[in-house]
Amino acid sequence: MPAPLDVARARQETPGCAHVVHLNNAGAALAPTPVLDAVIGHLRLEARLGGYEAAVAAAAKVDAVYESIARLIGCRPHEVAVVESATRAWDMAFYALRFRPGDRILTSRAEYASNVIAFLQAARRTGVRVEVIDDDEHGQLSVKDLERRLDEHVRLVAVTHVPTQSGLVNPAAEVGRLTRAAGVPFLLDACQSVGQLPVDVREIGCDMLSATGRKFLRGPRGTGFLYVSDRLIEQLEPPFLDLHAATWTDARTYEVRPDARRFEAWETNYAAKIGLGTAVDYALGWGIEAIEERVTALAARLRQRLAQLPGVTVQDRGRRLCGIVTFTVDGVPAADVRHRLSESGVNTSVSALTSARYDLGPRNLPAVVRASVHYYNTEEDIEALTAALGAPPA
In the complex, which residues of this chain contact ligand PLP (CB under 6 A)?
A: 85-87, 112, 160, 163-164, 189, 191-192, 212, 224
In the Cβ-directed half-sphere of 378, how many Cα atoms lie within 13 Å? 13
Contacts of 22 (CB under 8 A, 6+ apart): 16, 29, 30, 347, 374, 377, 381
Nearer to ligand PLP, 140 or 212 (CB): 212
Nearer to ligand PLP, 45 or 279 (CB): 279
340 to 249, 267, 323, 369: CA distances (angstroms)? 60, 42, 22, 11
CA 112 to chain centre: 10
Compute the least distance from the CB of residue 272 to ligand PLP, in Å: 12
In the Cβ-directed half-sphere of 93, how many Cα atoms lie within 13 Å? 33
Nearer to ligand PLP, 192 or 386 (CB): 192
SS3 assignment, position 147: helix
Nearer to ligand PLP, 358 or 389 (CB): 358
Nearest alpha carbon to residue 217 among 299, 279, 293: 279
Nearer to ligand PLP, 68 or 170 (CB): 170
Nearer to ligand PLP, 139 or 224 (CB): 224
Compute the least distance from the CB of residue 194 to ligand PLP, in Å: 10
Compute the least distance from the CB of residue 192 to ligand PLP, in Å: 5
* 92 close to 263: Cβ distance less than 8 angstroms: yes
DSSP state of 354: G
CA dihedral 97, 91, 218, 244 (to 10 degrees): 80
Compute the least distance from the CB of residue 188 to ligand PLP, in Å: 10
SS3 assignment, position 32: coil
Compute the least distance from the CB of residue 193 to ligand PLP, in Å: 9
Nearer to ligand PLP, 103 or 207 (CB): 207
Nearer to ligand PLP, 58 or 321 (CB): 321
d(CA 68, CA 126): 38
Nearest alpha carbon to residue 348 among 325, 321, 376: 325
* Per-residue three-class SS string for 109-144: CCCCHHHHHHHHHHHHHHCCEEEEECECCCCCECHH
Compute the least distance from the CB of residue 195 to ligand PLP, in Å: 12
Compute the least distance from the CB of residue 164 to ligand PLP, in Å: 3
Compute the least distance from the CB of residue 234 to ligand PLP, in Å: 26
